[in-house]
Amino acid sequence: MTALVPTVSVALRPAEERDVARITAIYAHYVLGGLASFEVVPPDAVEIARRRSDLLAEGLPYLVAELEGAVVGYAYAAPYRTREAYRYTVEDSIYVDRGAVGRGVGRLLLERLVVECTALGFRQMVAVIGDSGNRASIALHEACGFRQVGLLRSVGFKFGRWVDSVLMQRALGPGDGTLPEERG
Ligand SMILES: CC(C)(COP(=O)(O)OP(=O)(O)OC[C@H]1O[C@@H](n2cnc3c(N)ncnc32)[C@H](O)[C@@H]1OP(=O)(O)O)[C@@H](O)C(=O)NCCC(=O)NCCS
């Protein structure tokens, strides 16, 4: 599928406190109606703000996309896992408002996230995609250089059925081709 070229330009910028309400609303829609997230109860704005602060405190990128002045999507990188040896690996999350999908917003967000995480010295990015039927997310990640590396069958149960996790991964910068400069 070919993404439509956005009719107006999409602006990317770091998320700010004032964006929390929009981020909360965008995410709530997908928690309540989809399988991409394994959360069942949408977190409120206080919780979304807390999660964002935690990521910023670790120096990780948290981006929003604006279309005609309105926030229509967001993406952030989080530690893949917290144990120390995972410190060069991040996990991405990306959500685009249902009214703005299919216009290239997700791709712009994810490409920028890859660039920023590479510049920060991370070496691998992992996507843990809820539902093997999530064609949009799988296609988006493939378009951004990710390859499927695993499938965890039926590790979720939501809306009365078992749900898979699709694991996708891409190298950042030199990946494992060189040793890292020590971080943390
Ligand atoms: C997944 C999601 C972020 C994609 O955002 P988007 O702005 O619609 O994606 P884009 O328009 O930038 O498309 C990116 C690529 O994916 C493809 N794609 C997007 N939606 C698709 C679909 N439903 N089916 C097949 N391919 C699709 C596009 O063709 C494009 O590929 P191309 O650039 O090679 O043409 C968005 O659909 C979303 O928020 N979904 C719900 C939440 C979710 O699944 N998030 C991911 C959690 S890991």
**For 3-25, what is each residue's pLDDT tens digit?**
555 456 899 999 999 999 999 99
- Interhelix angle 20-33/45-57, rounded to 10 degrees, is 110
pLDDT, one tens digit for every residue, the chain (184 residues): 455 554 568 999 999 999 999 999 999 999 999 999 999 999 999 999 999 999 999 999 999 999 999 999 999 999 999 999 999 999 999 999 999 999 999 999 999 999 999 999 999 999 999 999 999 999 999 999 999 999 999 999 999 999 999 999 999 999 999 999 876 5
Distance of CA 84 from the midpoint of ligand 1 (Å): 32
Ligand 1 site: residues with CB under 6 angstroms? 1-3, 30, 34, 36, 94-96, 101-107, 127, 129, 134-137, 139-140, 143
CA distances from 76 to 4, 95, 112, 159, 168 (A): 23, 9, 10, 26, 16
Find the 129 Cα to ligand 1 centroid distance in Å.
12
Please give the distance, rounded to the nearest whole angstrom, from the Cα atom of residue 140 to the centre of ligand 1. Answer: 5
pLDDT tens string 21-34? 999 999 999 999 99
Per the document, the length of the chain is 184
